Amino acid sequence: MGGMRFSLSVVVLLGGGSLFAQVELGACDAAPAPSAEVLKAEQALDRADVNMSRVYLNAIERKSPEQRIHFHYLSAEWNLLSGRPEAAASLFNQVYQVCPDYHPDLRYKLGALWAGQGRQADAERLLKEFLAGAPTGSPFVAEAKRQLQTWAVVDSLQQHPINFSPYRIRGLDAPADEFLGVLSPDEHQWFFTRRQEILDRKSGPAPIRRLKEEFCVGRQTDAGVVEIEALPAPFNQGFNEGGPSLTADNRWMALTSCKLLGSGYRNCDIFLVQNTYDVWLDFKDLPTVNLPDSWESQPTLSANGDRLIFTSNRKGGFGGLDLYEVLRQPDGTWSEAKNLGPLINTPEDEKSPFLHADGHTLFFSSNGHPGMGDFDVFIMNLNGLTAPRNLGFPINTERAEVGFAVAAKSPMAYFSSNEKVGDLPAGSGYDFYGFPLPASATADAVTFLTGKVEGADVLPDGVSLRVENLQTREVTRVRVDAASGTYTAVLATPNVADFVFSVENPEVGYTAVRLEVDPRDDEAHVPLLEAKRLEVGESFSLNSIQFSTNSAQMSALDKASLAPFITYLKAHPSMTIELQGHTDNVGRQSDNQALSQRRAEAVQTYLLSQGVPAAQMRAKGYGDSQPIADNRDVEGRAKNRRTVFQVLTK
């Protein structure tokens, strides 16, 4: 990750071909009217006929020295057609020195070729001259402006370097190659690909040396990455998998698996793998992601498992490789793939996406946005409308920076390279490097929340958790492990905010809890939620409502927290319920009875105001007559102060 390159996208001469579209003669006082051979050479070049155009050019050179300006110009075009950019630049320059206004596009063509040779100052001068007098409709105006903008960006990045102090990650710097890796969101494990030379004694009578590639896991410790071993089946079954991404609970992994087809094409698709009881299950195909006639790879899975961003060369994109996303629906299926749009994707290539654990800070590599070189790393907030921002020099150089990732909890970035990194010499192969992420590129702080949904293990399809920020109304969905009922949710908020956690499953009744999350806390615990089947006579807690002491006044947060419950009631129009208020036994029994009644009625009144039919509910206070816990301690009294609803009819 040092230097820069100078090139225009039109100055790519591999394989030959004129890069400047139509071949057209120019004119100036020093150039006579074109001869018949000159016109024939022009027509042959316009047809991309290398052989015939050479015949006519040879005739001009022998017979018509007075046509030398036309000859030099057309010879430059012939050299472009033949894949000789240096010779073309020399010939265009000869024309420019004698007749700078020979053709409106001459300055652009020569500037483009000089840019490809690294002559930035000369190329920049010519492109500016070209733009000053460019003819209306010139196809090169946009490209000239883009290149000048790129140079301006490069100059600015080099004049304002950021701190870059890379170091090798111990354990991932072995003589073998280590690459395509990710640090798990909890920062306890590394998943990566290791490639090393082995002595194969099983392939024939004589042992042979060959490269062996394995998908591995290792444990992160203060001393580095240790206990590295190849992952068991379903991994390492000969399908060349790698490039993993994990959810915060380490129970879901997205990765790429490639298969060599009979045609010789290596087709890559994206799969999900679930871990349950510490066993990785079979690969799950993603039908809305993988297409039969395109390449899908480099997945990045949100920490909550509800968003997947990937790279694809499918038809209909903005460039060669574009970034797409799919969203997990409440029923567990995935939405149709959606292109991330022209703010991110360019006519060139975007790849290697990495979504930070905050769920909206995206890092990716691009050679279409203005940058230092081949591929630069960019950062963007998916919740905003601002353009991607270059991560800076010397993180980005003239080389291709890809495979960039960021730790979830620590301000550390990492990548794999087989080249010199900063002041560190190149290793023996691909090694992993880390470095402190500059403050200008850090994502939002995140809080890891853990909890349990009791009863999730008895439901055939499990449950998911709906998490809503009551300030921003942003909704996140988190998978609940069907085996244990546990979950991990990762939330990012710049300020202290209240969230509502509610259980989602068509077979269970609505239940929710409200929790205040402080961004200064790395971890927090969510109170127990209970998933119970929707049955007549069953009661469900509305713990998102938090009345103040001796008050039946609903706060704005209380009301906001009931939005998913209102949606639930409207989705079950035949269901009738009794809203119940309950208290602890502190104070007089009559006062508790009256308070519980007012609270139940307050909830009913608000639900009525939001369009829930009066016939669907009634309100009743029970005071302290139905405790569910011991009133002799603080914890028990807190549990007894509750608002619930009981199902009367389904």
Beta-bridge mates of residue 587 = none
Global pTM value: 0.84
Q: Which two tokens stand for residue 247?
A: 């959810």
* pLDDT score at 12: 37
Give 207 or 538, the one with higher predicted confidence. Answer: 538
Specify whether the CB–CB gap between 50 and 82 falls below 8 A: yes
Specify whether the CB–CB gap between 157 and 393 falls below 8 A: yes
CATH match for 445-532 among 2.60.40.10, 3.40.640.10, 3.40.228.10, 2.30.30.60: 2.60.40.10
Please say if the pLDDT value at position 469 is more than 70. yes
Reported as type and span, the H/E element at residue 500 is strand 497-504
* pLDDT band per the 50, 70, 90 thresholds, residue 260: low
CATH architecture of 534-650: 2-Layer Sandwich (3.30)
Going by C-beta distance under 8 Å and a sequence separation of 6 or more, which residues neighbour residue 439?
none
Please say if the pLDDT value at position 402 is more than 80. yes
- SS3 of 351-409: the string is EEEEECCCCCEEEEEECCCCCCCCEEEEEEECCCCCCCEECCCCCCCCCECCCCEECCC
Mean pLDDT of the chain: 91
CA distance 564 to 501: 10
* pLDDT band per the 50, 70, 90 thresholds, residue 203: low
Domain at 36-159, CATH homologous superfamily: Tetratricopeptide repeat domain (1.25.40.10)
* pLDDT band per the 50, 70, 90 thresholds, residue 378: very high
Domain ranges in the chain are 36-159, 237-440, 445-532, 534-650
* pLDDT band per the 50, 70, 90 thresholds, residue 460: low
Specify whether the CB–CB gap between 28 and 104 falls below 8 A: no
Residue range 532-540: average pLDDT? 94
**Between the CA of residue 598 and those of 194, 603, 620, what are the distances in Å?**
65, 9, 9
Specify whether the CB–CB gap between 487 and 465 falls below 8 A: yes
* pLDDT score at 264: 57
Please say if the pLDDT value at position 266 is more than 70. no
Specify whether the CB–CB gap between 346 and 368 falls below 8 A: yes
Q: What count of Cα atoms within 13 Å lies in the side-chain half-sphere of residue 174?
A: 17
Please say if the pLDDT value at position 393 is more than 80. yes
Block residue for tokens 């998933």? 531
* pLDDT score at 132: 95
Specify whether the CB–CB gap between 358 and 335 falls below 8 A: no
Please say if the pLDDT value at position 18 is more than 60. no
Q: What is the pLDDT of residues 574-616, one digit of tens each?
A: 999 999 999 999 999 999 999 999 999 999 999 999 999 999 9
* pLDDT score at 550: 87
Residue range 55-76: average pLDDT? 96
**Between the CA of residue 315 and those of 343, 345, 596, what are the distances in Å?**
18, 14, 61
* pLDDT score at 208: 74
Least confident of 98-112, 264-278, 613-627: 264-278
Residue range 334-350: average pLDDT? 97
Residue range 468-485: average pLDDT? 92
Give 235 or 4, the one with higher predicted confidence. Answer: 235
237-440: which CATH topology? Neuraminidase (2.120.10)
CA distance 621 to 601: 8
* pLDDT band per the 50, 70, 90 thresholds, residue 41: very high
Q: What is the pLDDT of residues 121-148, one digit of tens each?
A: 999 999 999 999 998 888 899 889 989 9
* pLDDT band per the 50, 70, 90 thresholds, residue 268: confident
Is it true that 237-440 and 445-532 share their CATH fold? no
Block residue for tokens 């702080």? 445
